[in-house]
Amino acid sequence: MSELDFQEDNSESLDIKGLLMRYLRYWYLFVIGAAFALTAAHLYLRYSTPVYSVKATILIKDESGADLANSGLFGDMALIKANKSFSNEVLVIKSKGLMERVLTELGMEVSYFGEGRIKSPELYGGRSPIKAVIAQLDSAGLGKSFVVEVEDNNSFSIYEGENKVSTHKFGEQIKKDYGIFTIVADSDITNDRGRRILVRFNNLGKMANSYSRQLAVKSVNEYATVMELSLTDPVPAKGKDILNKLIEVYNRETIHEKNLAVTKTIQFIDDRLVYLTRELTDVEKDVERYMQDNRLIDPAASGGMYQSTAHEYNQQITENEIKLEILKSVESYLQKEENKYELVPTSLDIADPTLGGLIANFNDLQNQRRRLGRSVTESNPVLHNVNEQLEILRLNILENIRNIREGLLVKRRGLQAIARQFESQVRQVPSMKRELTDISRQQGIKEGLYLYLLQKREEAALSQAITPSNSRVLDPAASSGSPIEPQATNIYLMALLAGLAIPFAGIFLRDMLNDTVQELRNVEKGTSTPILGEIGHNESGKMLVITQESRSSSAELFRLLRANLQFAAGGKENKVILVTSSMSGEGKTFFSLNLAASLVMTGKRVIVLGFDLRKPKLTQGVNLPNNIGITNYLISDTVQIEDLIQFAPEMPELAIIGSGPIPPNPAELMMLPKIGTLLDELKASFDYIILDSSPVGQVADTLALAPYIDSSLYIVRYNYTHKKQLQIIDDLYKSRKLKHPMIVLNDAKKSNSYGYSYGYGYGYGNYYEEESKGLGSKLRKLVKG
């Protein structure tokens, strides 16, 4: 396994823990967010209006009153018919017109609310001590609201907004621009003195539209026509009343629709009976007058056998005439334009199954058109299609009536011909008897038709009295008992999640927008360059923190890094160490001095060279002058190395060579061969030579030192070095422009490294031991590689 593979595996094993610890550092933000969200949820639950669910269940029947779901006689056809009927009834029940009639019958033109500081609960079902009786209300008054304040048992005041408008007596008629109404009080209103009630005049159209949208109608299962009606309302009693009244009005209207055809039939028969009564009276008067004029007592006894036979045929002719008369009446009824969308009278026993079926289909379509007309406009394609079907059926009925009439006329001619044969044999009967027979025949026709229609009228009236409803209530409306919303558990849970998510999102967004190195894994993901170690944040403000007495966490981290540097050498010569970075301010000088100090503490001879010729900081960091240094050595042949060496005041064993005066051409000076001479001479006198160079990410001066170094340390500072600058060291590592490059992470804090600790007691803490083992293992693999 390569060193890079090892580093990636180790990084992935720490990702979860690192992510958790990174967010747990801001635990107080999560606590504050959760507390604030839960408080907001508590206030919301306290002042929000609870909503209850109200449900009812009904069974939809077919036209004959039977249960469609149990109609198994016709198999799949019955199921299709049931589904179609169910869908139609759903549309009818959810129609705005039906709901508006329900609200009107419940008297919901006015609503009452108790005035509260936060919310105003509705006073429904007799809970309001006052009532508003509307005498007249214009459209401008719909949705109008005002506050009634009870003054005493006899008077009250009206407020609109915060302004007192007027004072009135209970029962006094109040006239406003938008209407006329009266406020009446309960019998005992003494305890309600000073109470304020909000009165609102409702727009029943909008209210019905709102409830129709809220009303949910669904089938209990696919094999039954059991319908579940559900409604939500803040007042469960109000929702129950609406559902129960909705079922009542729905059943009443379906019964009315079924009785409409019977009513039309009765009306038609009544009209015919009035006409036949007049005709029958006239015929009877003719018979009476004829018999009086001819002094006839019993003309039937003188007819003989031929007269009896002729009478039988005349009876058949009479029955034939009755049928022709009925057909004529029905045809005349259908041809009238005002009856175009009216039901055709039924139950007249016209002995033709085709005509009966056509009339039944015509009446069914008329009922369907009436029901669709309540919820759709005249321009609706569905209604237009029904109108076309009605017209086709009407024409078919008229054509069938003409065909039946033609058959009856043919039959009548045959019967008349036979009757004439018998009448020719009774010519010896006096003409008076023959004339009386003609008159009696007309009388018989009228009497037969009258009795027939009278019988049918009674049958129609009886069917009207026992018409069943279209549905049966299985479960009356009942509320859920507890509110369905807001649900306290869900609200608190969502509030808690939101309270935790907002700080999380804020931290995440902050980290996303921050393009500097935040954590160790940012470096591990940005480059495959080995990491030597990590240096903690310097709280002392001093440039040199490593002394013999120093036991701070920063000093111990430098000692740990010194050990790792020995591992990295792997027994090879590592005398010249280059320290560089991406840009100025990342702590190269601070690191160089303290690394050198930690090496000095082991008894090594160490010198630090200030090769940052552009912005020198080395000597001033330890309070030494910078009047002579490397620049003087490179441009002069008289300056000796001994003239350049100074010693740190705080650590006399630490040798330092400053950069000297800032030259105008530092890049060219760095390429002089005297640099190699300088380093070769220093190698003979010192164990370690640390080069504090310029930032390799900004200038190319440092690359000129590459031939003379044994290893290079690249400083990356937390919250300072940009992530994209890691590409610089990655390029140096892959292209081998610098020898043995390694990364040192500077300015580590608790917010950057979850393993970093400020505390230091006797010996190393767990973090140092683990870091030493981990980095040591990496470096051993690097050396082997």
Considering the domain boundaries, does residue 270 fall inside one? yes
Mean pLDDT computed over 580-607: 90
Mean pLDDT computed over 179-204: 84
Kindly indicate the confidence band of residue 425, based on its pLDDT and cuts at 50, 70 and 90: low
Residue 298 token pair: 């019993």
pLDDT of residue 682: 92
Q: Is the pLDDT of residue 720 over 70?
A: yes
Considering the domain boundaries, does residue 186 fall inside one? yes
Q: Are 717 and 746 in contact (CB under 8 A)?
A: yes
One domain for residues 387 and 420: yes
Q: Is the pLDDT of residue 41 over 60?
A: yes
Kindly indicate the confidence band of residue 185, based on its pLDDT and cuts at 50, 70 and 90: confident
Considering the domain boundaries, does residue 156 fall inside one? yes
Closest CA to 707 of 672, 684, 685, 676: 676
One domain for residues 267 and 128: no
Of 462, 480, 513, the residue that ends a domain is 513
One domain for residues 571 and 424: no
Considering the domain boundaries, does residue 476 fall inside one? no
One domain for residues 646 and 727: yes
One domain for residues 201 and 326: no
pLDDT of residue 647: 92
Task: Name the residue with higher pLDDT: 613 or 186.
Answer: 613
Q: What is the pLDDT of residues 738-769, one digit of tens each?
A: 889 999 998 887 666 544 433 333 333 344 34
One domain for residues 507 and 539: no
Helix (H, G, I), strand (E, B) or coil at 218: strand
Kindly indicate the confidence band of residue 307, based on its pLDDT and cuts at 50, 70 and 90: low
One domain for residues 11 and 103: no
pLDDT of residue 75: 41
pLDDT of residue 758: 36
Considering the domain boundaries, does residue 346 fall inside one? yes
DSSP label at residue 485: B
Q: Are 750 and 618 in contact (CB under 8 A)?
A: no
Please provide residue 144's backbone torsions phi and psi, each rounded to the nearest 5 degrees.
Answer: -70, 140
Burial of 593 (0-12, 13-18, 19+ CB in 10 A): buried
Long-range (24+ apart) CB contacts under 8 A made by 446-453 are 446/276, 446/279, 446/280, 446/283, 447/280, 448/318, 448/319, 448/322, 449/276, 449/322, 449/325, 449/326, 450/273, 450/276, 450/277, 450/280, 452/322, 452/349, 453/269, 453/272, 453/273, 453/276
Q: Is the pLDDT of residue 205 over 70?
A: yes
pTM, rounded to two decimals: 0.52
Range scoring the smallest mean pLDDT among 67-71, 581-585, 763-767: 763-767
Q: Is the pLDDT of residue 553 over 90?
A: no
Residue 619 has, within 13 A of its CA and on its CB side, a CA count of 24
Kindly indicate the confidence band of residue 260, based on its pLDDT and cuts at 50, 70 and 90: confident
pLDDT of residue 772: 41
pLDDT of residue 18: 66
* Residue-number span of the structural domain to which 124 is assigned: 68-252
Of 252, 280, 300, the residue that ends a domain is 252
Q: What is the pLDDT of residues 98-129, one digit of tens each?
A: 899 999 988 888 988 887 777 778 888 778 88
Q: Are 748 and 535 in contact (CB under 8 A)?
A: yes
Mean pLDDT computed over 220-237: 84
Q: What is the pLDDT of residues 631-656, one digit of tens each?
A: 999 888 888 988 889 998 888 899 99
pLDDT of residue 299: 53
Q: Are 535 and 597 in contact (CB under 8 A)?
A: no
One domain for residues 221 and 126: yes
Kindly indicate the confidence band of residue 32, based on its pLDDT and cuts at 50, 70 and 90: very high
pLDDT of residue 482: 79
Task: Name the residue with higher pLDDT: 736 or 433.
Answer: 736
Distance (Å, whole) CA 111 – CA 201? 7
Task: Name the residue with higher pLDDT: 69 or 628.
Answer: 628
Q: Is the pLDDT of residue 602 over 50?
A: yes
Task: Name the residue with higher pLDDT: 566 or 630.
Answer: 630
Q: Which of 146-150, 257-261, 452-456 reaches the highest mean pLDDT?
A: 146-150
One domain for residues 625 and 725: yes
DSSP 330-375: HHHHHH-GGGTTSPPP--S--S-HHHHHHHHHHHHHHHHHHHHHTT
Distance (Å, whole) CA 335 – CA 247? 38
Distance (Å, whole) CA 98 – CA 91? 10
Could you give the number of structural domains in the chain? 4
pLDDT of residue 606: 94
Considering the domain boundaries, does residue 445 fall inside one? yes
One domain for residues 555 and 599: yes
Mean pLDDT computed over 562-589: 86
Task: Name the residue with higher pLDDT: 565 or 429.
Answer: 565
Q: What is the pLDDT of residues 484-518, one digit of tens each?
A: 888 888 888 999 999 889 988 888 888 788 888 87
pLDDT of residue 10: 45
Task: Name the residue with higher pLDDT: 599 or 294.
Answer: 599
Distance (Å, whole) CA 150 – CA 199? 13
One domain for residues 465 and 588: no
One domain for residues 664 and 758: yes
Considering the domain boundaries, does residue 522 fall inside one? no
Of 513, 545, 564, the residue that ends a domain is 513
Please provide residue 566's backbone torsions phi and psi, each rounded to the nearest 5 degrees.
Answer: -65, -40
pLDDT of residue 744: 92
Domain of 755: which CATH number?
3.40.50.300
Q: Which of 225-229, 456-460, 477-481, 657-661 reaches the highest mean pLDDT?
A: 657-661
Q: Strand pairing of 226-233 and 216-219?
A: antiparallel
pLDDT of residue 541: 75
pLDDT of residue 577: 93
Considering the domain boundaries, does residue 482 fall inside one? no
Mean pLDDT computed over 529-535: 88
pLDDT, mean over the chain: 79
Q: Are 321 and 332 in contact (CB under 8 A)?
A: no
Q: What is the pLDDT of residues 377-401, one digit of tens each?
A: 777 887 788 888 888 888 888 888 8
